[in-house]
Amino acid sequence: MMTDPLSLISGIEQGKFNALARAITLVENEIPPAATLLRTVKPNSSVPVIGITGPPGAGKSTLVNAIADHLTQQGKKIAILAVDPTSPFNFGSLLGDRIRMSQQFNNPNVYIRSLATRGALGGISAKTIEIVDVIKAADFDLIFVETVGVGQSEVEIAGLADKTIVVLVPESGDEIQNIKSGLMEIAQGFVVNKADREGADTFANNLKKMVHQQTHHIPVFKTVADKKEGIAELCQWLLKPSAIRNELKPLLMAEKAFKIIQHYRMADIDKSKLRLALEEAMNAPDFNVYRFVDSWT
Protein backbone atom coordinates (compact mmCIF):
# COMPACT_ATOMS: atom_id res chain seq x y z
CA MET A 1 0.00 0.00 0.00
CA MET A 2 1.27 3.45 -0.94
CA THR A 3 1.70 5.64 2.16
CA ASP A 4 4.59 7.93 1.23
CA PRO A 5 3.11 11.48 1.21
CA LEU A 6 5.12 12.70 -1.79
CA SER A 7 4.20 9.61 -3.85
CA LEU A 8 0.54 10.01 -2.91
CA ILE A 9 0.50 13.70 -3.77
CA SER A 10 2.22 12.98 -7.09
CA GLY A 11 -0.42 10.34 -7.86
CA ILE A 12 -3.24 12.71 -6.86
CA GLU A 13 -1.91 15.48 -9.09
CA GLN A 14 -1.70 12.99 -11.98
CA GLY A 15 -5.39 12.21 -11.50
CA LYS A 16 -4.91 8.67 -10.16
CA PHE A 17 -8.05 7.70 -8.28
CA ASN A 18 -6.29 4.97 -6.27
CA ALA A 19 -3.82 7.53 -4.87
CA LEU A 20 -6.68 9.91 -4.05
CA ALA A 21 -8.67 7.14 -2.36
CA ARG A 22 -5.66 6.10 -0.28
CA ALA A 23 -4.94 9.69 0.78
CA ILE A 24 -8.56 10.27 1.81
CA THR A 25 -8.55 7.06 3.88
CA LEU A 26 -5.39 8.18 5.70
CA VAL A 27 -6.80 11.65 6.39
CA GLU A 28 -10.27 10.44 7.42
CA ASN A 29 -8.86 7.96 9.94
CA GLU A 30 -5.86 10.08 11.04
CA ILE A 31 -3.42 7.37 9.97
CA PRO A 32 0.21 8.44 9.57
CA PRO A 33 1.34 10.19 7.40
CA ALA A 34 -1.98 12.12 7.19
CA ALA A 35 -0.60 15.17 9.05
CA THR A 36 2.41 15.41 6.70
CA LEU A 37 0.20 14.91 3.66
CA LEU A 38 -2.14 17.77 4.68
CA ARG A 39 0.82 20.10 5.21
CA THR A 40 2.36 19.20 1.86
CA VAL A 41 -0.64 18.94 -0.45
CA LYS A 42 -1.35 21.95 -2.69
CA PRO A 43 -5.12 22.52 -3.01
CA ASN A 44 -6.16 24.32 -6.19
CA SER A 45 -8.24 27.22 -4.88
CA SER A 46 -9.73 27.83 -8.33
CA VAL A 47 -11.64 24.51 -8.31
CA PRO A 48 -15.23 25.42 -7.39
CA VAL A 49 -16.93 23.52 -4.55
CA ILE A 50 -20.70 23.13 -4.97
CA GLY A 51 -22.74 22.40 -1.86
CA ILE A 52 -25.97 20.44 -2.32
CA THR A 53 -28.31 20.46 0.66
CA GLY A 54 -31.99 20.24 1.53
CA PRO A 55 -34.45 18.03 3.43
CA PRO A 56 -34.38 14.22 3.17
CA GLY A 57 -36.34 12.87 0.21
CA ALA A 58 -35.79 15.92 -1.99
CA GLY A 59 -33.81 13.81 -4.46
CA LYS A 60 -30.36 15.30 -3.86
CA SER A 61 -28.46 12.17 -4.89
CA THR A 62 -30.58 11.73 -8.03
CA LEU A 63 -29.98 15.39 -8.88
CA VAL A 64 -26.21 15.07 -8.41
CA ASN A 65 -26.27 11.94 -10.56
CA ALA A 66 -28.06 13.82 -13.36
CA ILE A 67 -25.65 16.76 -13.05
CA ALA A 68 -22.69 14.34 -13.25
CA ASP A 69 -24.09 12.80 -16.45
CA HIS A 70 -24.57 16.20 -18.08
CA LEU A 71 -21.18 17.64 -17.10
CA THR A 72 -19.14 14.56 -18.03
CA GLN A 73 -20.80 14.56 -21.47
CA GLN A 74 -19.25 18.04 -21.80
CA GLY A 75 -15.84 16.59 -20.93
CA LYS A 76 -15.81 17.82 -17.33
CA LYS A 77 -14.13 15.81 -14.59
CA ILE A 78 -15.97 15.95 -11.28
CA ALA A 79 -15.66 14.66 -7.72
CA ILE A 80 -18.65 13.91 -5.49
CA LEU A 81 -18.28 13.81 -1.71
CA ALA A 82 -21.47 12.39 -0.22
CA VAL A 83 -21.70 13.13 3.49
CA ASP A 84 -23.86 10.48 5.17
CA PRO A 85 -25.54 10.55 8.56
CA THR A 86 -23.63 8.87 11.36
CA SER A 87 -25.55 6.84 13.91
CA PRO A 88 -25.34 8.52 17.34
CA PHE A 89 -25.18 5.05 18.90
CA ASN A 90 -22.46 3.17 17.04
CA PHE A 91 -21.09 5.97 14.82
CA GLY A 92 -21.74 3.80 11.79
CA SER A 93 -22.82 5.47 8.56
CA LEU A 94 -25.36 4.38 5.98
CA LEU A 95 -23.07 5.35 3.08
CA GLY A 96 -25.97 4.78 0.73
CA ASP A 97 -25.31 7.55 -1.79
CA ARG A 98 -22.80 5.45 -3.70
CA ILE A 99 -25.55 2.85 -4.28
CA ARG A 100 -27.91 5.53 -5.65
CA MET A 101 -25.14 6.77 -7.96
CA SER A 102 -24.10 3.27 -9.09
CA GLN A 103 -24.34 4.16 -12.79
CA GLN A 104 -21.33 6.50 -12.30
CA PHE A 105 -19.05 3.72 -11.00
CA ASN A 106 -17.45 3.02 -14.36
CA ASN A 107 -17.28 6.65 -15.45
CA PRO A 108 -13.55 7.57 -15.59
CA ASN A 109 -14.41 11.27 -15.16
CA VAL A 110 -16.34 10.85 -11.90
CA TYR A 111 -14.89 10.15 -8.47
CA ILE A 112 -17.41 9.36 -5.70
CA ARG A 113 -16.60 9.06 -2.02
CA SER A 114 -18.94 8.70 0.96
CA LEU A 115 -17.99 10.26 4.26
CA ALA A 116 -19.65 9.92 7.64
CA THR A 117 -20.61 13.10 9.51
CA ARG A 118 -19.02 11.76 12.74
CA GLY A 119 -21.75 13.47 14.73
CA ALA A 120 -21.31 16.94 13.20
CA LEU A 121 -24.75 18.58 13.40
CA GLY A 122 -24.45 20.54 10.18
CA GLY A 123 -23.28 17.51 8.25
CA ILE A 124 -19.76 18.94 7.94
CA SER A 125 -17.11 17.43 10.17
CA ALA A 126 -13.56 18.78 10.42
CA LYS A 127 -12.53 15.83 8.28
CA THR A 128 -14.78 17.00 5.43
CA ILE A 129 -12.78 20.23 5.13
CA GLU A 130 -9.49 18.30 5.07
CA ILE A 131 -10.75 15.83 2.47
CA VAL A 132 -12.00 18.63 0.21
CA ASP A 133 -8.48 20.12 0.38
CA VAL A 134 -7.02 16.77 -0.74
CA ILE A 135 -9.55 16.48 -3.59
CA LYS A 136 -8.76 20.06 -4.66
CA ALA A 137 -5.19 18.93 -5.37
CA ALA A 138 -6.50 16.50 -8.00
CA ASP A 139 -7.40 17.43 -11.54
CA PHE A 140 -11.15 18.10 -11.17
CA ASP A 141 -13.29 20.79 -12.77
CA LEU A 142 -15.90 20.80 -9.99
CA ILE A 143 -16.30 19.24 -6.55
CA PHE A 144 -19.78 18.47 -5.22
CA VAL A 145 -20.44 18.06 -1.49
CA GLU A 146 -23.86 16.56 -0.80
CA THR A 147 -24.85 16.92 2.85
CA VAL A 148 -27.39 15.47 5.23
CA GLY A 149 -30.61 17.49 5.02
CA VAL A 150 -31.20 18.61 8.57
CA GLY A 151 -32.48 22.15 8.17
CA GLN A 152 -30.98 25.23 9.75
CA SER A 153 -27.76 23.59 10.98
CA GLU A 154 -26.84 23.12 7.30
CA VAL A 155 -25.32 26.63 7.32
CA GLU A 156 -21.92 24.96 7.79
CA ILE A 157 -21.90 23.84 4.14
CA ALA A 158 -22.08 27.50 3.09
CA GLY A 159 -18.67 28.13 4.63
CA LEU A 160 -17.11 25.32 2.62
CA ALA A 161 -18.86 25.75 -0.74
CA ASP A 162 -18.39 28.44 -3.36
CA LYS A 163 -22.02 27.92 -4.38
CA THR A 164 -24.68 26.31 -2.21
CA ILE A 165 -27.83 24.84 -3.75
CA VAL A 166 -30.87 24.09 -1.59
CA VAL A 167 -32.98 21.30 -3.10
CA LEU A 168 -36.70 21.22 -2.29
CA VAL A 169 -39.77 19.43 -3.63
CA PRO A 170 -43.30 20.79 -4.26
CA GLU A 171 -44.48 19.20 -1.00
CA SER A 172 -41.94 21.31 0.91
CA GLY A 173 -44.54 23.96 1.74
CA ASP A 174 -43.99 23.22 5.43
CA GLU A 175 -40.28 23.99 4.92
CA ILE A 176 -40.98 27.65 4.14
CA GLN A 177 -40.38 28.66 7.75
CA ASN A 178 -37.02 26.86 7.69
CA ILE A 179 -36.19 28.59 4.44
CA LYS A 180 -36.85 31.96 6.01
CA SER A 181 -34.93 31.25 9.19
CA GLY A 182 -31.90 29.35 7.95
CA LEU A 183 -31.66 28.12 4.39
CA MET A 184 -32.34 31.53 2.85
CA GLU A 185 -29.12 32.77 4.42
CA ILE A 186 -26.95 30.16 2.72
CA ALA A 187 -28.55 29.50 -0.68
CA GLN A 188 -27.02 30.91 -3.82
CA GLY A 189 -29.64 28.95 -5.74
CA PHE A 190 -32.79 26.92 -5.13
CA VAL A 191 -33.82 23.79 -7.04
CA VAL A 192 -37.43 22.65 -7.00
CA ASN A 193 -36.92 18.99 -7.88
CA LYS A 194 -39.67 16.55 -8.91
CA ALA A 195 -41.20 19.56 -10.68
CA ASP A 196 -43.63 17.32 -12.59
CA ARG A 197 -45.64 16.91 -9.41
CA GLU A 198 -48.81 18.84 -8.63
CA GLY A 199 -48.23 22.25 -7.08
CA ALA A 200 -44.66 22.61 -8.40
CA ASP A 201 -45.32 25.82 -10.35
CA THR A 202 -47.07 27.49 -7.42
CA PHE A 203 -44.31 26.48 -5.02
CA ALA A 204 -41.57 27.69 -7.39
CA ASN A 205 -43.36 31.02 -7.88
CA ASN A 206 -43.69 31.49 -4.12
CA LEU A 207 -39.97 30.82 -3.78
CA LYS A 208 -39.17 33.35 -6.51
CA LYS A 209 -41.24 36.00 -4.73
CA MET A 210 -39.41 35.27 -1.51
CA VAL A 211 -35.90 35.40 -2.99
CA HIS A 212 -36.76 38.56 -4.93
CA GLN A 213 -36.63 40.38 -1.58
CA GLN A 214 -32.94 39.50 -1.13
CA THR A 215 -30.15 42.00 -1.78
CA HIS A 216 -28.60 39.69 -4.41
CA HIS A 217 -30.25 37.60 -7.10
CA ILE A 218 -30.96 33.99 -6.14
CA PRO A 219 -32.14 31.85 -9.07
CA VAL A 220 -34.85 29.22 -8.71
CA PHE A 221 -34.56 26.20 -11.00
CA LYS A 222 -37.19 23.54 -11.69
CA THR A 223 -35.91 20.02 -12.38
CA VAL A 224 -37.11 16.46 -12.77
CA ALA A 225 -33.79 14.81 -11.99
CA ASP A 226 -34.77 11.22 -12.79
CA LYS A 227 -35.87 12.36 -16.28
CA LYS A 228 -32.90 14.76 -16.71
CA GLU A 229 -35.28 17.70 -17.17
CA GLY A 230 -34.02 21.19 -16.31
CA ILE A 231 -30.47 19.92 -15.74
CA ALA A 232 -28.83 21.77 -18.66
CA GLU A 233 -29.94 25.19 -17.40
CA LEU A 234 -28.83 24.36 -13.85
CA CYS A 235 -25.39 23.16 -15.03
CA GLN A 236 -24.94 26.30 -17.13
CA TRP A 237 -25.39 28.37 -13.96
CA LEU A 238 -23.12 26.08 -11.92
CA LEU A 239 -20.26 26.63 -14.35
CA LYS A 240 -20.47 30.41 -14.05
CA PRO A 241 -18.06 31.90 -11.47
CA SER A 242 -19.86 33.19 -8.38
CA ALA A 243 -20.03 36.97 -8.20
CA ILE A 244 -20.86 36.91 -4.50
CA ARG A 245 -18.08 36.75 -1.91
CA ASN A 246 -18.54 33.92 0.58
CA GLU A 247 -18.74 35.73 3.91
CA LEU A 248 -19.06 32.48 5.87
CA LYS A 249 -15.80 30.90 4.70
CA PRO A 250 -13.58 32.75 7.24
CA LEU A 251 -15.94 31.67 10.04
CA LEU A 252 -15.72 28.01 9.05
CA MET A 253 -11.93 28.23 8.70
CA ALA A 254 -11.70 29.83 12.16
CA GLU A 255 -13.65 26.85 13.56
CA LYS A 256 -11.34 24.48 11.69
CA ALA A 257 -8.23 26.22 13.03
CA PHE A 258 -9.70 26.10 16.55
CA LYS A 259 -10.29 22.32 16.24
CA ILE A 260 -6.72 21.76 15.02
CA ILE A 261 -5.29 23.77 17.94
CA GLN A 262 -7.61 21.95 20.34
CA HIS A 263 -6.48 18.59 18.94
CA TYR A 264 -2.77 19.33 19.47
CA ARG A 265 -3.24 20.83 22.92
CA MET A 266 -5.20 17.75 23.98
CA ALA A 267 -2.72 15.30 22.43
CA ASP A 268 -0.96 14.57 25.76
CA ILE A 269 -4.23 13.88 27.62
CA ASP A 270 -4.70 10.15 28.10
CA LYS A 271 -8.47 9.60 28.24
CA SER A 272 -8.16 6.22 30.01
CA LYS A 273 -5.94 7.72 32.73
CA LEU A 274 -8.34 10.64 33.03
CA ARG A 275 -11.28 8.29 33.59
CA LEU A 276 -9.42 6.24 36.21
CA ALA A 277 -8.28 9.38 38.05
CA LEU A 278 -11.82 10.73 37.93
CA GLU A 279 -13.30 7.52 39.36
CA GLU A 280 -10.84 7.70 42.25
CA ALA A 281 -11.39 11.42 42.87
CA MET A 282 -15.17 10.98 42.91
CA ASN A 283 -14.85 8.89 46.09
CA ALA A 284 -13.78 11.97 48.02
CA PRO A 285 -16.66 13.60 49.95
CA ASP A 286 -15.62 17.07 48.79
CA PHE A 287 -15.21 16.10 45.11
CA ASN A 288 -15.54 19.04 42.74
CA VAL A 289 -15.16 18.43 39.00
CA TYR A 290 -13.89 21.97 38.37
CA ARG A 291 -11.08 21.67 40.93
CA PHE A 292 -10.31 18.22 39.49
CA VAL A 293 -9.96 19.68 35.97
CA ASP A 294 -7.66 22.39 37.31
CA SER A 295 -5.16 19.68 38.23
CA TRP A 296 -5.11 18.49 34.60
CA THR A 297 -4.66 21.88 32.93
CATH of the domain at 164: 3.40.50.300
Cα-to-chain-centroid distance, residue 15: 21
The list of the chain residues with pLDDT below 70 reads: 1-2, 84-103, 117-126, 148-156, 173-184, 215, 243-244
Residues 128, 86 contacting (CB under 8 angstroms): no
Number of domains in the chain: 3
Same domain, 167 and 72: yes
Q: How far apart are CA 201 and CA 118, in angstroms?
A: 38
Same domain, 117 and 212: yes
Q: Could you tell me the end-to-end alpha-carbon distance of the chain, in angstroms, rounded to an integer? A: 40
Do residues 191 and 262 share a domain? no
Encoded amino acid at 79, one letter: A
| Shared-domain flag, residues 257 and 183 | no
Q: In terms of Cα–Cα distance, which of 142, 220, 210, 152 is closest to 186?
A: 152
- Domain of residue 289: give its range: 252-294
pLDDT of residue 129: 85
| 215 and 123 both lie in a single domain | yes
Q: H or E stretch including 24?
A: helix 17-28
What integer pLDDT is reported at residue 115 of this predicted model?
82
Indicate whether 30 and 169 sit together in one domain.
no
Same domain membership, residue 148 and residue 8: no
If we measure between CA atoms, which residue out of 37, 30, 24 comes closest to residue 81? Answer: 24
Q: Which residues pair with 78 in a beta bridge?
A: 110, 142
pLDDT of residue 285: 93
Are residues 94 and 85 in contact, defined by beta-carbon separation less than 8 angstroms?
Answer: yes
Chain centre distance of CA 204: 25
Predicted pLDDT at 182: 62
Look at residue 152 in the predicted model and tell me its pLDDT. Answer: 42
The pLDDT of residue 88: 40
Say if residue 185 is in the same domain as residue 74. yes
